[in-house]
Amino acid sequence: MLCLGLSAFAQEEETSWTDGFSLSGSIDAYFRQNITTLNKVTDEGYPAPGSSFANQPGFALGMANAVLSYEKGSVGAVADLVYGPRGTDAVFGSTTASSSIVNQLYVYWNVSESVTLTFGNWNTFLGYEVISPAANFNYSTSYMFSYGPFSHSGLKADFALDDNWSAMLAVMNPTDWTDFNPAGSYTFGGQLGYSTDSGSTFLNLIYGDQDGDYTDQGLGEGAGSTFQVDLTTGYDLSDSFYLGLNATYNTTDAGDMGGDDYGFYGVALYAQAALSDSFSLGLRPEYFSEFAGGAGAIGGYDAAGDANVFAVTLSGNAKVGPLTFIPEFRLDSASEDVFLDSYDGTPTYTGSLGSFLLAAVYSF
């Protein structure tokens, strides 16, 4: 009896290498059709919103996303891999073939119950939206998300100050330089957060020179430091209604290039209502404005380099198990004529663009 008991105890203590391992991800594709303007590719291009992703005509591919994570004790690692057009656009700052499928790649150490250190490449903490379509209600993305940072590489420390308040400090490469630092300058980041059972609010900051001292490198004149402040908040106002908000302001010192400081600012609301257990409806109105040329998001500017756009996106989420269908109507109205309206050898442009999109996102 004693031998049997010791044997059973030893078997209970054995662990498998799969303990602490998890795999998740998504696969997505979509169909997109312009309603109010030209709907084919010409020598002048194809009219689409100036935001990232979901801009191709007809039936188009998103990406395959696999997130592998492993944790043992107080330490762990995450490898987030992407493949497909959306993934390629997301990791545009990668400079080598081996890193062009890496969305995130980092290790972390839970130093204590209140402090976690992360080292490597992680998606940005700014903004309301994320790269993975499985985590966004709307399939197309906002202008603010598209022209803010996508990813950072560096070292960050997360602090749980109490049950509700959190903070983060980070030192990073210039934004979206994920596999090494060609500029020789660094960017600093910070976050203050407040969370409850019904939602959360985060104030985010980054500051740093994004292109280094180009003059010393013999590459011509460079810009100065970029500063961005970003507010993200969202709360369940009832069992069936959610309201979120994202506001951001980004400015870059013109530096050696001369001229005015340039940048952008914007605000967007995210209103979502659950109409049944399997269907929800969401509205995202966004105002986005660039000054002194901004980030080149809108593509057309007045004499001062200013332009703005108001975009309204209405999306549905119809769930069939782990598969979500997203029908979406979007209207972009810009202050300048930037959308290709017709083409018969000579292009004409208009300031508004209406489009329809149907996406399918499978999550696992």
Q: Which of 223, 55, 53, 233 is nearest to 145 (CA)?
A: 53
Is pLDDT at 14 greater than 70 in this prediction?
Answer: no
Q: What angle do CA 298, 281, 329 make, to 5 degrees?
A: 35
Q: What is the pLDDT of residues 250-299, one digit of tens each?
A: 999 988 777 889 999 999 999 999 999 999 999 999 999 999 999 999 99
Mapped onto helix, strand or coil, the DSSP state of residue 176 is: coil
Is pLDDT at 363 greater than 80 in this prediction?
Answer: yes
Q: Which of 181, 186, 230, 225 is nearest to 205 (CA)?
A: 230
Mapped onto helix, strand or coil, the DSSP state of residue 190 is: strand
Region of residue 208 (phi > 0: left; psi between -120 and 50: alpha; otherwise: beta):
left
Q: What is the pLDDT of residues 283-342, one digit of tens each?
A: 999 999 999 999 999 999 999 999 999 999 999 999 999 999 999 999 999 999 999 999
DSSP state of 125: S
Long-range contacts of 88-93 (CB under 8 A, 24+ apart): 88/63, 89/52, 89/53, 90/52, 90/53, 90/63, 90/131, 90/150, 90/151, 91/150, 91/151, 91/178, 92/150, 92/176, 93/150, 93/151, 93/175, 93/176, 93/177, 93/178
Amino acid 107 reads: V
Is pLDDT at 25 greater than 50 in this prediction?
Answer: yes
Please state the rounded mean pLDDT for residues 97-108. 91
Please state the rounded mean pLDDT for residues 20-31. 97
Query: Residue 154: which H helix or E strand, with range?
Result: strand 151-160
Q: What is the pLDDT of residues 78-91, one digit of tens each?
A: 999 999 999 999 99
- 249 vs 18, higher pLDDT: 249
Is pLDDT at 241 greater than 80 in this prediction?
Answer: yes
Please state the rounded mean pLDDT for residues 46-50. 93
Is pLDDT at 362 greater than 90 in this prediction?
Answer: yes
- 346 vs 264, higher pLDDT: 264
The answer to whether 156 touches 169, Cβ cutoff 8 Å, is yes
At the topology level of CATH, where does 35-58+110-363 sit?
Answer: Porin (2.40.160)
Q: Determine the Cα–Cα distance for residues 268 and 232; give it in Å rounded to an integer.
A: 10
The answer to whether 91 touches 82, Cβ cutoff 8 Å, is yes
Is pLDDT at 16 greater than 80 in this prediction?
Answer: no
Where in the chain are the domains? 35-58+110-363
